[in-house]
Structure 1
């Protein structure tokens, strides 16, 4: 049983830079939209005003910084892992925004599941590309934790007026 718990916690550790990256973007209130205000073929914004270059840089910086801290304990390769993971987590987040715009869900609109897990899917792709071994149980555990934490932290961020909606 202890080995199973250790395995799940190791899986969670792998995703800490993605959690930090995903949680840091909302601290940037205004910025230059990544889509530069352009619309997609369907006439809707590609990503929307919520995805900015400044938010992307803050997210990658914070995610990589936590990787630097982790690397002090688990090896220097964590710096590269955290950088790639943070980039892919944000690509997953942007893919989620892209899908939401296609579904005509406005910025700040709710998309249960997509809102909570888009960055996890992106980070997983980044980790797998780097050869980090993630098993299905670790992934499902992290997805469950991400879902619960997303709901909780967004509620807190809403109450602190960091976010305009509680989801």
Structure 2
């Protein structure tokens, strides 16, 4: 597989996992998932993890996967190599796993004494990737095995932090986030 092909497949395959957290920020607000509960002297998750944001994030990721699936044959023909068409379970695994990863990272932040929005290097950039890949492998193993080769996984781990930092800085500049990380 050529380098360009690996990068395009990695980006295309991960788009349904990349979009949910951004959609959740745009649609956020509403009732917190933890209902304001604490564990010890700290919130379980915090006000930033809401039912509405989570639902909208998952729906946005699944909808994007459906659109990409429709576009995949034409894009593949234009590029000269196939790009992923998403099964329903792969779409749910990627989008739902991304949101679950972000929720788990929030839980870890609270347990380690970090406030909402505080930096947590490594976790902030890869939490949603790790959980989305694991959930997708559990729900749609054959699809996962077909598209997430070792080379593609390597590219995902390398490009995701770059994309994460870039999109967060843009969201910060647009006033959609309170911090640039």
Fold shared per TM-score above 0.5: yes
Q: Is the 8 A contact 2:32 2:49 kept in 1?
A: yes
**Equivalent pairs, count:** 165
Displacement of 1:138: 1.5
CA distance in 2, matches of 1:45, 1:120: 24
Q: Is the 8 A contact 2:126 2:160 kept in 1?
A: yes
Matches within 5 A, 1:1-167: 3-40=2-39, 42-74=40-72, 77-129=86-138, 130-131=140-141, 132-133=144-145, 134-167=148-181
Q: Is the 8 A contact 1:70 1:78 kept in 2?
A: no
Q: Is the 8 A contact 1:11 1:138 kept in 2?
A: yes
CA distance in 2, matches of 1:97, 1:156: 22
Q: Is the 8 A contact 2:62 2:92 kept in 1?
A: yes
Q: Secondary structure at the match of 1:108?
A: coil
CA distance in 2, matches of 1:23, 1:158: 12
Displacement of 1:4: 4.0
Displacement of 1:31: 1.2
Q: Is the 8 A contact 1:18 1:86 kept in 2?
A: yes
CA distance in 1, matches of 2:92, 2:32: 22
Q: Is the 8 A contact 1:71 1:79 kept in 2?
A: no
Displacement of 1:76: 6.8
Comparing 73-82 with 130-139, which one deviates more in the overlay? 73-82
Normalised to the residue count of structure 1, the TM-score between the two structures is 0.90
Q: Is the 8 A contact 2:17 2:61 kept in 1?
A: yes
Comparing 46-55 with 74-83, which one deviates more in the overlay? 74-83
CA distance in 2, matches of 1:140, 1:19: 16
CA distance in 2, matches of 1:121, 1:43: 29
Q: Secondary structure at the match of 2:29?
A: coil
Q: Is the 8 A contact 2:36 2:46 kept in 1?
A: yes
CA distance in 1, matches of 2:28, 2:57: 13
CA distance in 2, matches of 1:72, 1:79: 13
Q: Which runs of 5+ in 1 are unaligned?
A: none
